[in-house]
Each structure stands twice: as C-alpha cells, then as structure tokens.
Amino acid sequence: MPTSPLTPIRRLLLAWYRKNKRDLPWRRPADPYRIWLSEVMLQQTRAAAVIPYDERCLERFPTVEALAAAEEPEVLALWAGLGYYSRARNVHRAARSIHAHGAFPSTYESIRALPGVGEYTAAAVASIAFGQPQAVLDGNVVRVLSRITEEPGAIESQQTKARLRGVAAGLLPRAHPGEFNQALMELGATVCLPKAPQCLLCPVAAHCAAHRSGREEQFPIRAARKSFEDVVEDFFIVMRENRILLWQRPADSRRLAGFWELPGPAELPGAARKSR
C-alpha cells in the first residue's frame, strides 16, 4: 500500500508533541468533565489566563454534579475577569443537563448538543476524552494549515473553513486522534505564531508550502477589517442611606445578560445630568 503524503506530517508532529508539549493541568488526567470545562474556558482566551480560573473552578466544583448544584451567581463570580460571560451560563446549563442524564455524553453529536458547545469544542472533547476521530479547527489549527497549504482564501470565508476542515480531517490519524489534535493546536500556540513564526523550531517546516516560498507571515489571509467608532455613554450614581441604585440587564440581553450595573438615561429617563 502506498504511503500517504500526509504520513510524515503526522509522524513528525506527534513525535515533537510528545517531547515538547506544555504541562497544562487539564491534560492530566483525561477526565471528560475537566477537558470540557477547560475547552470552554479556552474559547478566545489564552491558556496562561485560563489556568488559575480552571484551578479555582475545579477546587470549588470538582465534579459536574457539584457544578450543576451551584447557583448561577456563584458560577459567574468564579468566572469574573475571564470575560465572555455567556460561556459561564452555558457551562452551568450544560452541567445541569449532564447531571439530569446521569453521565457525561460520550459521542460527538451528544457533546455538540450541550449548551454553548460548537463544532470545535465537541470535536476536541470527543477526540481527547473518548478517542473519537474528530478533527478540530480552532484559530491555531487554521493558522498552521493555512501556512502548510498556502490557503488562498480569507479565513473568515465558510468555503475556506470547509477546505481547511477537509485538510484537518485528512491529516487526522485513526490512532491517537486526541493527541494529534492537541499536537496541531500546540504547534500553533507555541511555534507557528501569528507574528514571527519560529520556523527553525517547526517539526514540519519542510512540508510547509508557505515556509518554502518564504511567505509565512502572509498567511492566513484575512478579510478587510471593519471600522469601529468610540461610543460615549452616561451613567447615574444614585445613593440613598449609603446604598447605590443598580439595575439588572435582562436574561436575553446580547451584552452582559443578567449583570447588575449603574443605570443610564434609558433606565432613569427623568434623571438630570449634574454638570461640573
């Protein structure tokens, strides 16, 4: 049987990962609950920032049952400072769903059905915790594969993502899929960096089209950025007997749902702004 052209990449990347992988707390042991919790925290957040939150959360909620039994304000308090608070609410809802079903879901489809779990998180948990051959496609993997293949499309495009998802699936070995997924993500996080990629340290540099053409930093290609403008908002501080008036955002608010904050003109239309 002829050797696949992808085989050297698999072999080289796995060998590099086993020797150079970071000692991250959620990699020991391979507990589905811990892997799922860390993967949700890692969405749009660096591993170094996640570690203390992961440790505090597991100390307070060592099992999914403990998390399911908690009240939402306590979960949000532990999450404070990590951002993207809808993740915390979804984690809490998912924990209660898992507890109600009696066991952590063990298939890609059932993990994907949990609140707040997308394709990437479901694939990561299914492959790492349960050894299922599900390829991951997060920002690090997109960058690595875009450079290896010199992907010509903007990474925001669904067609581009579909092509890269196909490349990731083709690379994924049937044996050790979770380990390979972690190796691919680790390469993007520590070597194949957005700026100044460390190609001399890359185990698959010889198989990277962008490296061969000397265009590493031109990939991945991004669409033109949208322009943003600053918005100035007014808030009122209303005090009575050393107590401050706050209002709570609706549960379906698109921003900071359920959070308490100072009222503004929309909440106190009759209030007058005090000039300095």
The pLDDT tens digits for 182-220 are 999 999 999 999 999 999 999 999 999 999 999 999 999
Q: Report the C-alpha gap between 251 and 132 in whole angstroms.
A: 36
Residue 39's pLDDT is what?
Answer: 94
| Other Cβ atoms closer than 10 A to 248 | 11
Contact in structure between 137 and 38 (CB atoms under 8 Å): no
What is the C-alpha R_g of the chain?
22
Residue 88's pLDDT is what?
Answer: 93
> Which ranges of the chain have pLDDT less than 50?
1-3
Nearest Cα to Cα of residue 260 among 272, 250, 270: 250
Q: What is the 3-state secondary structure (H, E, C) of the chain?
A: CCCCCCHHHHHHHHHHHHHHCCCCHHHCCCCHHHHHHHHHHCCCCCHHHHHHHHHHHHHHCCCHHHHHHCCHHHHHHHHCCCCCCHHHHHHHHHHHHHHHHCCCCCCHHHHHCCCCCCHHHHHHHHHHHHCCCCCCCCHHHHHHHHHHHCCCCCCCCHHHHHHHHHHHHHHCCCCCHHHHHHHHHHHHHHCCCCCCCCHHHCCCHHHCHHHHCCCHHHCCCCCCCCCCCCCCCCCCCCEECCEECCEECCCCCCCCCCCEECCCCCCCCCCCCCCC
- The model's pLDDT over 138-161, given as tens digits with 9 standing for 90+, comes to 999 999 999 999 999 999 999 999
Residue 1's pLDDT is what?
Answer: 35
Residue 5's pLDDT is what?
Answer: 66
Residue 222's pLDDT is what?
Answer: 92
Residues with a known catalytic role = 39
